[in-house]
Amino acid sequence: MLVLNNEDISALLSLEEILTAVEEAMLANENKACIAPQRMHLDFGANTFLAMPSFSESHYGTKLVSVVPGNAAKQLPVTNGLMLLNDIETGLPLALMNAAKLTALRTGAVGAMGLKYMTDRNTNAIGLIGCGVQGIHQAIFACAVRPLKKIICLFRSAESFEKLKSAVSGYFPHVSVQACSNTEELLQQTNVIIAATTSATPVLPNDKKLLEGKHFISIGSYKPTMQELPDAVYELAGCLAIDSEGARHEVGDIVLPLQKGILNPEDVFTIGQLINGKRKIDISKTTVYKSAGMALFDLFVAQAMYESAKEKNCGKEIII
């Protein structure tokens, strides 16, 4: 079995290859070519533990993840875990991977699908709320799908902002990363807002005048009680793109607008329907996309990483 650590994973695939793997997973999911059972979700105090199996035609994978918000104060990653990749025919384990890095990369690519299919292709600036690990990867992958010149950031930690600036500069040195002081300023400077926080309540004002005609991507909320975007976003958009059908019952940014009657079930659709052309939207108006995550995305990226690792003779072989 091949063991791939954080460094290995970071170097195995280009941004474009990761984006391709995620898009292929979304299309496979639309075509019912793969299986991704409902993930097991356990809360223990403030912490969340997840077990996520998935199956493709060639492999199956199991991702085990912990989300521990208190780790931020200890200078430890909030999200940790492992991904086990197995051969579908023999069941033999093929690779064990750092799931935190895998998750960050694929979530960056999943978020970028909202930019690719729900914003103008000439978009050259985005606003980012949250500059942690997920914020960093959202920024990097946003630059990979749009000709960005500027990223405006709202953040709590100056240290995290500097880390994001450095990370973006490493991939896209021409992109300017700037700080702003409040949400109103952020909304004035860009039409695209990405929220990558762990906030349980909306991170933007519930003001239609400020929000109208803009594009919103929510990454951070991961519980049915958490709503990262305000009701006015959903009222303006009138519909909601989600990354997977399973997300309908998992996160507040989907559950709560439906419970409140702001959206009807038929107003919520998977972004895979935009990718395969079965649905069209008007990107000149307000749009909103919610990513909740899906094990199939991890599986397709893990498959691509494993194949690349074999070609490049990367990682460490162990016998179990």
Q: What is the pLDDT of residues 212-265, one digit of tens each?
A: 999 999 998 888 999 999 999 999 999 999 999 888 888 999 999 999 999 999
Nearest to 237 by CA among 264, 206, 213, 259: 213
Q: Using an 8 Å Cβ cutoff, are 240 and 212 in contact? A: no
DSSP type of residue 29: H
Predicted confidence (pLDDT) at residue 320 exceeds the cutoff of 80: no
Its pTM stands at 0.92
Task: Encode pLDDT of 33-42 as tens digits.
Answer: 898 888 888 8
Distance CA 303, CA 296 (A): 10
Q: What is the CATH number of domain 108-293?
A: 3.40.50.720
Tens of pLDDT, residue by residue over 283-293, are 999 999 999 98
Torsion sign (Cα): 211, 215, 219, 223:
positive
Provide CATH 3.30.1780.10 ranges for the chain: 2-103+296-317
pLDDT tens per residue, range 61-102:
999 989 898 998 898 888 889 999 999 999 999 999 999 899
Report the pLDDT averaged over residues 35-60: 90
pLDDT at 109 over 80: yes
Locate CATH 3.40.50.720 in the chain: 108-293
- pLDDT the model gives residue 30: 93
Render pLDDT for 135-173 as a digit per residue (tens, 0 to 9): 999 999 999 999 999 999 998 888 999 999 999 999 999
2-103+296-317 falls under which CATH superfamily?
Answer: ornithine cyclodeaminase, domain 1 (3.30.1780.10)
Separation CA 158–CA 145 (nearest Å): 27
